[in-house]
A = this chain, B = another copy of it.
Amino acid sequence: MIGPWKRMPFLRKMYSGKRRIWSSPLENQIKAEAQQWGQKPSKHLIDASWGDAHRLGMKPISFVRQVTAACLYPELLHSETLPVDARMRAQRLLRECYGGSVGAYSAMSGIPHVQRSVSDFISRRDGGVPSDPDNIAICNGSQSALLVILKLLSYGKGLNQTGVLAPLPIYSLFKLMLTTQGAFMVPCQLFEEEGWALKVEELRRVIQATRSHCTPRAMYVINPGNPTGHVQSRESIEGVIQFAAEERLFLLIDEVYQDSVHMEGCEFISYKKVLFEMGPEYSDTVQMASLHSISKGFMGECGLRGGYMELVNIDPPVMNVLHTLLATVACSSLIGQIALDIMADPPQEGDPSYPTYLKVAGMDASQLYCSRLLEEADLCVEPGCEYGQREGTHHIRICVLTPTENLEEVLRRLRVFHLRFLSQFS
């Protein structure tokens, strides 16, 4: 028999012996376990390796689901099933879709209204630093955005091949993404003994050493870190920006974990904000793409596929090429875009959905813990913040005046919930 190998020798030559990195059988195996877990939670599968909160049992934010459902099925706009603000938001967003339908394509870089919501969100987050909606590109998650910008930056062979500096440890998919786009990964070791800090001296050492292998043209930073959880200080960010300016590196800033800072004394500051506060020597020159998405943080909507990149200091001809690259991947899911609009522009105080919209970002950790415990385990306890706990500490109050068998059930639920909570937020 003449096998396809015989007939298509070039594919054999290219791909024979390549290791299977993401195998379908492995995923199926994990799925089988997850289904099993769905019926009977087991410690084994409380494993955050997937960074997928809904898979681990987190409930979606109702407002997100109500608005997207009404956009899909506009008959719901006239039904009392959904709160009035969810229906109004859906109506508003449908007006921004071509033909009034989420079934139509949007512009390739996203629905202009959503681009505006995102730039307003960024500007509010960064204490007024301006953000231009035309510099926002909405994609099927931050990963799609990163692929597009990597494609723009990756070219050359041998010594001229684009090198991208990246912190180590890093998630395995990142190196794979670089490789498929044709770039070379230049690893920069983080310092575990200093809480996984990124040190400019190490960056300088590495960039000198790598010039004999490739041409470094970009640097990737993920802040807060994955997998380290390290949160960069303002000084640390300034150091990286100075380094990028000196070495003329394009900064790829992954900020998808910006909602997930829970440690005392830690605060998320965006690269964009720091860049603009460093003055025009930097803010007019350093080129940057910063990424965020609906998949992580308090929304956790991985399956809806929504994310964006904000582009800073990119010249018009380069923006043209970026728009062209975006066109080749087509517009992103309109449902993901709508969820992104809600992330950027959540219900406000006074709106009917405000009380049920889980304001994780601004919520005390003990309050968040108790609210989730009630929602997910039907267990009602009180947060320590209502009792004047010392700042930086977190407590809950359980009333033990209950029959022993009840208390046993309370402790069982608490244990199951606690492990799940830790896997989401630690």
Contact = CB atoms under 8 A, between A and B. Distances in A.
A321 B11 CA distance: 11
B107 A330 contact: no
A186 interface: no
A69 interface: yes
Max chain B Cβ within 10 angstroms of own Cβ: one of A140, A301, A303, A335: A303
A375 interface: no
B55 A65 contact: no
A22 B108 contact: yes
A133 B101 CA distance: 31
A23 B329 CA distance: 15
Interface in A15-46: 15-24, 27-28, 31, 34, 38
A143 B330 contact: yes
Contacts of A286: 7
Interface string A335-350: 1100000000000000
A323 B53 CA distance: 23
Interface in A311-340: 313-315, 317-318, 320-321, 323-336
A104 interface: yes
Given A4-B313, A65-B72, A81-B75, A321 B18 contact: yes
A102 B294 CA distance: 13
Contacts of A336: 333
A24 B137 CA distance: 11
Interface in A330-382: 330-336
B100 A38 contact: yes
A1 B28 CA distance: 56
A330 B305 contact: yes
Contacts of A53: 103
Nearest to A155: B14
A323 B22 CA distance: 6
Nearest to A106: B303
A416 to B, nearest CB: 15
Given A107-B27, A245-B7, A72 B69 contact: yes
